[in-house]
Structure 1
Amino acid sequence: MTVALFTLGGTIAMAGARADGSGGTVVTRLTGADLTAAVPGLDVPLDVHDTQAVPSANLTFRHLLDLVDAASRAVRAGARGVVVTQGTDTLEESAYLIDLVWPHPEPLVVTGAMRNPTLASPDGPGNLLAAARVAAADQARDLGALVVLNDEIHAARRVRKTHATSTAAFTSPDTGPLGHVIEGEVRVLNRPPRRPALAVPTGPPARVALHTVTLDDDGSTLAALADTHQGLVVAGFGVGHVPSDLAPVLGTLATRIPVVLTSRTGAGSVLTHTYGAIGSETDLRRRGLINGGLLDPYKARVLLRLLLAGGEADKTDIAEAFAQHA
């Protein structure tokens, strides 16, 4: 049985200089056939599908949901698993969106590269090889969407890009990797519970803002947000704190649109009832903010957009969805 490979561009597929001879930047896209030809010891049959050739910064929900549809068709046609290659800039968000709606036991593995093929030690071939082996492995079934780079296997809902250039940029700060690829063997060391897949929305995309709280932040830029957006994610200090002047602004917004509270720290959970001052997590919860739990702000925004686009407007139901998926 083969593994379906879908290519979306990104650093892993970039090579060559500009056609005008100016040089200095990589712009030419490598095809899936080019990528697989560069992988020594590739021992997994791949069925290649070249799709949207866009930088990951230009990917949209629609791109990714269309990809999920195509990947689902490949699985129903007999693919053992799926690999998706894309740029790393938005990889943590796109992998999480895919994970939320991926209904199959077959693994869908997202990978990319931090060093492009023109450099002395590109990591793309090794990452593609490891991803293909994970996608074909029985051990990876029923784990949803996975992220595989640097021979590490990460759950899509926990992984983050934590460095701008390092080949070890992708980590899971709260849990560590699920496993590793060791001498070509897939080793899954822990298996988190699988969440039920959410329905793929058919409605228009929802507009969800993300506000990172900063020192002396009074929220003056947020006052009219409910007139233009359907939801808001707040990246608060520490365990979910904001300046006291910002708290009533967020509380007023929470009466009109769902407002989800997360932490800007990059690891750890928002608390619920430890601190009680104005602007604390207890105060914000009392004002109607939804607890984002362990989800980082970027993933919380993905989940809230998906729920709103699917027609979910009841704040109690949204809070329950966050409790389940965070």
Structure 2
Amino acid sequence: MSVALFTLGGTISMAGRTADGVARLTGADLADAVPGLAALGVPLDVQDVEAVPSANLTMTKILDVVDAASKAISTGATGIVVTQGTDTLEETAFLVDLVWPHANPFVLTGAMRNPTLASPDGPANLLAAAQVACSPAARDLGALVVFNDQIHAARWVRKTHSTSTATFASPNAGPIGHVVEDRVRILSRPPRLDGVPGRAEAAALEATKVALYTITLDDDGLLLHGLADTHQGLVVAGYGAGHVPSALAPVLGDLAERIPVVLTSRTGAGSILRNTYSSIGSESDLLNRGLIDAGFLDPHKARLLLRHLLATSTPQPDLSATFAQHH
């Protein structure tokens, strides 16, 4: 039994400022600072991949980590732990979840308080992540985010606070488990997504542009004009349960005739409705104009899913069927 640890930087590895910038801890440094990790009795195979703010990560870089993690599994690793910055952790976890082909746990974690501060949370998060990664109970759950002793499914987890150590939550479903007294306790087992293609090639991802447009009060929609000439897809974060100003409805309908347009909610929780409202710009009107219902999927993850599907040349009917799994 062993755990492969991949480090990508972030607050968890910050060791203070230097004249040249921010000093970073290695994965070995992180492991050495965790009380209880040695007592777990599970060897860590550490690979330092990046030392960057998570805002600088890319889909291709994360997919490269997935490939390296798959190799670690093929050589005997029980599970995977990735440490990174929290700013994009909810998105990288979801991307991993789309393409992770193994039953072995793939766990992502980080920290909100760096090691130079009083009561840094990184050591506890790393210990809990390692415990989950080597637990048989966490198999067949895809990618997981472990933070503050909570276990979250990648498809539901959100970063909900800019500074709190309890920032990660799953508003639509709650955590699927907890680490209690060093025991991994799984409370629910969400189904894995079906029919999602494997990793996209880097060149295809680079060529696939998907925009995210958030509807705001008195929105004139000027940024939407000509978008189909520059992008292969669009995600719309609408008001409430999937609503837009009436003037934008025909604009979005025209776009949906040229490129896939996915409808989500900007609220942060809850599903798109399908047939409750019928006015121009309502959810039923937009769906009738050809927009794709993202269900409970939030805008940022909907963009990742759409870009991944388009970069793997997924046909339109399969696009809709994949998003329907989030209803």
Q: Please give the TM-score of this superposition, normalised by the length of structure 2.
A: 0.96
Q: 2:30 corresponds to which residue?
A: 35
Match of 2:157 among 156, 159, 168: 159
Q: 2:54 corresponds to which residue?
A: 56
Preserved contact between residue 10 and residue 86 of structure 2 (Cα < 8 Å): yes
Q: 1:9 corresponds to which residue?
A: 9
| Larger deviation, residues 116-125 vs 11-20 | 11-20
Q: 1:309 corresponds to which residue?
A: 311
Amino acid at match of 1:28: A
Distance, in Å, in 2 between the alignment partners of 1:287 and 1:71 is: 42
User: How many Å apart are 1:325 and its aligned residue?
Assistant: 4.7
What aligned pairs does 1:99-178 form with structure 2 within 5 A after superposition? 99-178=97-176
Match of 1:94 among 81, 92, 114: 92
Q: 1:225 corresponds to which residue?
A: 227
Q: 1:201 corresponds to which residue?
A: 200
Distance, in Å, in 2 between the alignment partners of 1:151 and 1:145 is: 16
Q: Please give the TM-score of this superposition, normalised by the length of structure 1.
A: 0.96
Q: Between the two proteins, what is the percent identity of the paired residues? A: 69
Amino acid at match of 1:8: L
Amino acid at match of 1:199: G
User: How many Å apart are 1:109 and its aligned residue?
Assistant: 0.1
User: How many Å apart are 1:217 and its aligned residue?
Assistant: 1.0
Amino acid at match of 1:291: D
| Larger deviation, residues 221-230 vs 165-174 | 221-230
User: How many Å apart are 1:315 and its aligned residue?
Assistant: 2.4
Distance, in Å, in 1 between the alignment partners of 2:51 and 2:149 is: 25
Distance, in Å, in 2 between the alignment partners of 1:45 and 1:177 is: 27
Amino acid at match of 1:64: I
Amino acid at match of 1:15: A
Preserved contact between residue 294 and residue 326 of structure 2 (Cα < 8 Å): no
**Structure 2 residues without counterparts, runs of 5 or longer:** none
Secondary structure (helix, strand or coil) at the match of 1:34 reads helix
Secondary structure (helix, strand or coil) at the match of 2:171 reads coil
Q: Does 1:319 align with 2:282?
A: no
Q: Does 1:258 align with 2:260?
A: yes
Question: What do you get for the CA RMSD once the two structures are aligned?
Answer: 1.1
Secondary structure (helix, strand or coil) at the match of 1:16 reads strand
**Structure 1 residues without counterparts, runs of 5 or longer:** 21-25
User: How many Å apart are 1:53 and its aligned residue?
Assistant: 1.8
Q: Does 1:69 align with 2:67?
A: yes
Distance, in Å, in 2 between the alignment partners of 1:195 and 1:259 is: 21
